[in-house]
Amino acid sequence: MFNRSGISGAVLFYPDNILTRISVVKKTDNNMLKKIGTLFAAALFTSISAQEFTTFKNGLIYNENTMTKLEKIVDSLHLKYKTCDLNKIFYSKPQTKGHIIRLDSNHVLQAKKDMDNNISFEDFMAKYPNAKIEKDALILKTRAKNYQDKEIIRYEEMSLIDDEDLYIENDYKKNLYEKPAKNTWAYVYRDKTSYSQESIEAFYFPENFKSIPLDQKYSKQIVYSDCLIDTSSTKFKENAKNERFSSFVSLPKNWQKLSKKEKEKLLDNMRSEQAVGSCSNDQSPRIQGINMALLSADVANWEVFLKSHLDIMNDRFERVSDGSYAWKDRQTYIKELEELDINVHDLLFGTIFRVENPEKNHYYGNIGRLGRAISESKDKNLFLAQMLTMVEDEKLDDYNRILAYFLYTNCNGYTKSKTEKKFNNAKIINSVKKLPKYLADQIKIETV
């Protein structure tokens, strides 16, 4: 799960993480929020040290014996990878360049009727001169499920300017999803209330949505990711309960003295109860995450282990709310994966691409968190080089090119060296110039 805006607010949105991006150079917290969060944390929770979890003599959160077990599994997984379908091609999310319309003055209901009658964009602008128009926005079309687990069609703006992206949801109908969208509207209408006036927000699509194949070099990275993570299973059971306030199954202090059978039973129980954080400072989800990672690694349950570790890295946990002031103490632990002789570069990039035809249970990474993890990688330059290649790649869809841009800027934002940061900044400025003009014109990169 993920925080839609990437800045703050509730979780529990959509499983493919289509808009998980965090700008580390953009300050969005206000001082009051920080003070409240700090006081609340001091009153109710133990402060988190710089080192979030216990480390062993090897400097890792898994001891030498556990790492040896995991290394043996990795060797066999690399053999398994050779039998995976390396020729599979993935397709981009359906996307188009469209216009955004907002109207909250007079004649809103009439505007709604005109949209229902498919008024042309030019006639609409002439008839409603007070409407706010934003031309040439990147718009995605996604088949998803809402809070009620109901299938929907979600149209969503991919803004490069702020995090207030417009999204519109309709009930899913196959003929509507596949129907050509050229010269049509999608809107959300809101009645007048005691708190707000009548309004309508809409997308107008001058062209159809397009989904194009990803280059095989990118598709292979997705295949590698799926092969190692094992998309045939999930970390939690399908009917797992959501538990708040630390009522989930915990790891006993003497757990290492348990028999393997007892450990496997304990892990099975953990998979039946998912911790939900009550607020930003509630560490319950991450504590459960490390407990499951430690236990599954010890019993060599790779499927649960890797998902648990990636969840810790991506901070992929459910919380009622989550303010950015709490993020700095949550570490990424990329080093543990690099010590396992995994192709971490391909593994993580395989979770970054957003595609229309993923495998069931495909793992999507959080762009902001992965930017931070990559900034700590021993192969950071290799990661950065591919991000620049993706931003400049005219054969790659616009959405994935923009995700690569966000990933790069997040990674560079966490880079400690000012000289290195300035050098990287100059590179992304040049790469952005190769984006389609309607996207490049929106990006203003501050010199470091």
DSSP, residue by residue, 395-420? TS-HHHHHHHHHHHHHHHHT---HHH
Give helix 398-413 / helix 367-375 axis angle, nearest 10°.
50
Beta strands at 273-277 and 241-244: parallel, antiparallel or unpaired: parallel
d(CA 397, CA 93): 8
d(CA 224, CA 147): 31
400: its two tokens: 């994935």
d(CA 248, CA 265): 15
d(CA 331, CA 172): 39
d(CA 275, CA 414): 29
pLDDT in tens, the chain (448 residues): 233 333 222 222 333 443 333 333 333 344 433 333 333 333 333 334 457 899 999 999 999 999 999 999 998 887 777 778 889 999 999 999 999 999 998 899 999 999 999 999 999 999 999 999 999 999 999 999 888 889 999 999 998 887 678 999 999 998 889 999 999 999 999 998 888 899 999 999 999 999 999 999 999 999 999 999 999 999 999 989 987 755 678 899 999 999 999 999 999 999 999 999 999 989 999 999 999 999 999 999 999 999 999 999 999 999 998 988 889 899 999 999 999 989 999 999 999 999 999 999 999 999 999 999 999 999 999 999 999 999 999 999 999 999 999 999 999 999 999 999 999 999 999 999 999 999 999 998 877 6
Beta strands at 318-319 and 184-190: parallel, antiparallel or unpaired: unpaired
436: its two tokens: 């389609």
**Backbone angles phi and psi of 355, in degrees to 5:** -130, 165
pTM exceeds 0.75, yes or no: yes
d(CA 319, CA 94): 30
142 three-state secondary structure: strand
Non-local CB neighbours of 154 within 8 Å, separated by 6+ positions = 14, 140, 141, 142, 143, 144, 167, 168, 169
135: its two tokens: 């031309």
Alpha-helical regions (H) of 191-276? 216-229, 260-270
**Backbone angles phi and psi of 327, in degrees to 5:** -75, -30
**Backbone angles phi and psi of 96, in degrees to 5:** -155, 165
